[in-house]
Each structure stands twice: as C-alpha cells, then as structure tokens.
C-alpha cells in the first residue's frame, strides 16, 4: 500500500502469509473434518464508488469470488481471486474449483500436504474426547477457530476484504462455513469492508459482515463492529469477531470470543499488534440463543 499497491492485492498478500503459517486455521494447518481431511473455504470481495456521483445515490461497483470445500491448493485465497477474475461466477466448489486452479495457474498440492502435525493431533484428540458420532455437537461456541482475514482501503478509495478458513473442529465432511459466504464471512460495499471469524453457522444467520458494513456512515467502524457482534451474540449466543475498515481508512474490530489476534498497518504507524479485549455482553439465559 505504501508503494501504491491496491486494496485487493493487500488483503490477498496478508491472507496468504496467514494461510502459509501452520498456527492459523487456513491453508496449511487447517483443522480436519471428522473424516480426517482438510476442506477449506475462502473468498475475496472489493467495492469501488464510481466517480462523479456522491452521497446516498452513489453507484458502487462490487466484485467477488470464493471457493468452498477445496483441498488441492495451499492458498485458497488465490483460487478465490481466480474465480473472481477468470469466471462469470462468484462461488465455486470442489472439483470445479480445482479445474479453475489448473486453468488459472494457481499452484496445486496434494490434500495431505495441507495437514500439519498439530492439526492431526487435535483431530485425534477431538475424536477421542467426543466420539466421532458426537463430534458435530462440538460445532458450537467453544469450537477451535483460527479463521484468518484482512480488510484494506487504498489511495483510490477501493475497499477490499478477504477471509480464509479450514472451518471448525469436528465438522462433518461437506460442511460449508461462513468464510466464503458474501455478507456473512466477508462483505465490501460503498461504506467499507469487513471480514469475520468465529462460529460459521451463527455468522451466516446474522449476516455479520454485511450487518457491520451497513452500520457504517451512521456509526464509527469501532461502534459498528461492536454493535454487530453484540447483535450476533444476542441472537445466537455464539462466539464471533469482525474487523472492518471504512472508505476513509478508519478501523474497527470487536469479538466476544476468548481472544482475537489482530494487527493493523497504516503509513503513519506502520505495523502494530493489537490486543482487542472481549466485548462485555450480558450473559444469555440458559436455552436461549444457541447456534
């Protein structure tokens, strides 16, 4: 961004670093399904206000691409970008997505190349602890997460969001989470762009990222993020977090999980690591709001 790069390149570069790091649940090191396999989801979205029109009637050009259930690329976010740039579609899955990878020159790998030692150990531990038949019940507020995402705005005012994940611990084969679902795991619009992490089923129901972005303008990004996470908590009781940037470069981040690792970059401050405290939200009565 310092060198004039665009927001799309910035979010993809950031997410690729995290996908390549086995500490995160995306790309190499993704969590495994109950069948012991990696199935990853990722998406990218960008928005640009068209010149000459301002205010509420401004027209916005949006572009998006995503992939679900992929296991033959080390960087699913590159495949999501290829869907956006090389097809007329927004979301592709499985074998069709892998064919796009071949055609677009996205590097392929073997499914087993994505499995880290830690992921395999966690998978074994979860099967022992829960029993394979009960593993689906583990997909709830306390599941291991670690989805990665990035949001950016560039000098042209283009905003972009990217999200990538291996899903959640104990998921059934074929389960698709929020990360590649536009409006849920990511969203970009005239006001800004957002990316989410946490319990995918709840994030989809709450349309967390669209909810966050639609609050921009009336609210600062920080308040928009906090209100959107509070609404998800109220409706579902699940754990989630969101990062958001508005088109003026103001940032917001909020979560109701145990932790959400966050870092930010701007030309004045450089790269900074942030400790984002958990939102203080009312406890829900037993039996309300789960999932």
Residues 129-158 that bind ligand GLY (CB under 6 A): 147
By CB under 6 A, is residue 178 in contact with ligand GLY? yes
Neighbours of 285 (CB within 10 A): 8
Q: Which of 198, 221, 241, 252 binds ligand GLY (CB under 6 A)?
A: 198
Q: Which of 29, 76, 189, 200 binds ligand GLY (CB under 6 A)?
A: 200
Q: Can 87 be counted among the known catalytic residues? A: no
By CB under 6 A, is residue 236 in contact with ligand GLY? no
Q: Which of 168, 186, 194, 228 binds ligand GLY (CB under 6 A)?
A: 168
171 to each of 138, 146, 166, 183, 187, how far by Cα in Å?
8, 14, 10, 22, 24
230 to each of 58, 204, 223, 256, how far by Cα in Å?
29, 15, 10, 8
Nearer to ligand GLY, 76 or 190 (CB): 76
**Catalytic option among 33, 34, 87, 147:** 147
Nearer to ligand GLY, 99 or 291 (CB): 291
**What distance in Å separates the CA atoms of residue 213 and residue 83, rounded to the nearest whole number?**
23
Nearer to ligand GLY, 30 or 75 (CB): 30
By CB under 6 A, is residue 256 in contact with ligand GLY? no
The CB-of-236 to ligand GLY minimum distance in angstroms stands at 12
Exposure of 285 in the CB half-sphere (CA atoms within 13 A): 1
Applying CB under 6 A, the span of 43-51, 149-157, 194-202, 228-236 interacting with ligand GLY comes to 194-202
b/e per residue 149-164 (b: at least 16 CB within 10 A): bbbbbbeeebbbbbbb
Q: Which of 29, 66, 167, 191 binds ligand GLY (CB under 6 A)?
A: 167
The CB-of-6 to ligand GLY minimum distance in angstroms stands at 26
Which helix H or strand E contains 249, and what residues bound it?
Answer: none
Residue nearest ligand GLY by beta-carbon distance: 177
- The answer for residues whose C-beta is within 8 angstroms of residue 56's C-beta and 6 or more apart is none
Nearer to ligand GLY, 24 or 247 (CB): 24
The CB-of-168 to ligand GLY minimum distance in angstroms stands at 5
Total residue count of the chain as it appears in this document: 291
DSSP 10-59: HHHHHHHHHHHSTTSSSSTT----TTS---EEEEEEEEEEPTT--GGG--
The CB-of-45 to ligand GLY minimum distance in angstroms stands at 16
Q: Which residues are catalytic?
A: 147
Q: Which residues bind ligand GLY (CB under 6 A)?
A: 147, 165, 167-168, 177-179, 197-200
């Amino acid at each position: 961004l310092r060198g004039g790069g665009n927001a799309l390149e910035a979010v993809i570069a950031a997410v690729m670093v995290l996908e390549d790091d086995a500490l995160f649940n995306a790309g190499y090191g993704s969590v495994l399904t109950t069948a012991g396999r990696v199935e990853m989801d990722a998406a990218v979205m960008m928005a640009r206000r068209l010149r000459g029109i301002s205010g509420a009637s401004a027209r916005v050009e949006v572009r998006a691409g995503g992939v679900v259930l992929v296991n033959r690329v080390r960087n699913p976010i590159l495949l999501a970008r290829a869907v956006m740039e090389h097809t007329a579609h927004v979301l592709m899955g499985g074998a069709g997505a892998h064919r796009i990878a071949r055609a677009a020159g996205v590097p392929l790998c073997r499914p087993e190349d994505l499995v880290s030692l830690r992921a395999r150990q966690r998978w074994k531990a979860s099967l022992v602890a829960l029993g394979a038949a009960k593993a689906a019940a583990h997909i709830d507020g306390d599941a291991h997460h670690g989805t990665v995402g990035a949001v950016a705005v560039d000098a042209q005012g283009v905003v972009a969001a990217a999200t990538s994940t291996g899903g959640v611990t104990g998921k059934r084969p074929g389960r698709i989470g929020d990360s590649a679902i536009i409006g849920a795991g990511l969203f970009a619009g005239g006001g800004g762009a957002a990316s989410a992490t946490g319990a995918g089923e709840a994030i989809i129901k709450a349309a967390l990222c669209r909810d966050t972005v639609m609050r921009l303008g009336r609210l600062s990004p920080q308040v928009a993020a906090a209100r959107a996470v509070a609404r998800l908590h109220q409706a579902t009781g699940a754990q989630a977090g969101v990062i958001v940037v508005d088109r003026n470069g103001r940032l917001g981040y909020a979560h109701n999980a145990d932790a959400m690792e966050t870092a930010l970059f701007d030309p004045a401050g450089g790269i900074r690591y942030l400790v984002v405290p958990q939102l203080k939200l009312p406890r829900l009565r037993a039996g309300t709001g789960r999932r």
